[in-house]
Amino acid sequence: MNISAKNLGFKELNEKVRAVSGDVCIDDCYGQRFIASGASERTININGTPGNALGAYLDGALIQVKGNVQDAVGDTMNQGKIIVHGNAGDALGYSMRGGSIFVKGNAGYRTGVHMKEYKDKKPVIVIGGSVGSFLGEYLAGGLIIVLGIGAENIPVGHFTGTGMHGGRIYIRTNKNIDNLPAQVLAEEAENLEEIKEYTSEFANYFGTDNFINDRFLLLKPNTKNPYKQLYVIN
């Protein structure tokens, strides 16, 4: 079913979307918030620019956006998939605990903050371009992959991995990253089998190379207790 979001407030639009039991295509989307919050077992296509908290608490639905997205996409999502054929704002995948997000372009600050995993729930974020500062802040689990397409310099901002105590971050770059937080180790990734499935999926969505033969840096925590130094003198 097609729904035009033109001249609709976010409450009215979301009521219309929830009233449809099957798949939905939203046209003329201009900043409406909370679209597909908690949605499961259907496909929602969006033409335009959805507002903050797209797919918050997503529980199995597939969301495809032909355009850019704003802040807090996939906030605390549990499972499902979000595919963005544009750029993303800040706090992408905040507290994400399952499912996957693919962004063709760039993402803003604090991507993947507080991501976590448990048993078979392993969240994944793949960014095609560059990301802002505080990537993977307090990361507790899951995978973040930054492909750096079109980036002349290192495709991440400052304070990458601050507070990181789990999970892994892969960054495609020919350079090394200086001034990482003390609890983060960076090494050249020797085996990319862990991310091959996701770079191939990215390539299928956006018509790119899968970059699996390129150089990636792997960032991971170097201690199980990165906060110990805050409370213990010796």
Identify whether 58 is part of a domain: no
Identify whether 113 is part of a domain: yes
* Overall average pLDDT of the 176-196 stretch: 91
Identify whether 189 is part of a domain: yes
Identify whether 21 is part of a domain: no
Mean pLDDT score of the chain = 94
- Give the number of domains in the chain: 1
Domain assignment of residue 166, given as a range: 87-231
Identify whether 70 is part of a domain: no
Instruction: Give the pLDDT of residue 83.
Output: 98
Instruction: Give the pLDDT of residue 182.
Output: 84
DSSP one-letter string for the chain: -EEE-TT--HHHHHHHHHH-SS-EEEEEEES--STTTT--SSEEEEEEE--TTTTTT-EEEEEEEES---SSTTTT--EEEEEESS---SSTTTT--SSEEEESS-B-SSTTTT---BTTB--EEEESS-B-SSTTTT-EEEEEEE--TT-SS-SS-SSTTTT--EEEEEEE-SSPPPS--TTEEEEE-S--HHHHHHHHHHHHHHT----TTS-EEEEEES-S-TTHHHH---
Give the tens place of pLDDT for each residue, 20-46.
989 999 999 999 999 999 999 999 999
- State the pTM of this model: 0.94
Instruction: Give the pLDDT of residue 178.
Output: 83
Identify whether 164 is part of a domain: yes
Identify whether 209 is part of a domain: yes
Instruction: Give the pLDDT of residue 234.
Output: 47
Identify whether 61 is part of a domain: no
CATH code, domain with 95? 2.160.20.60
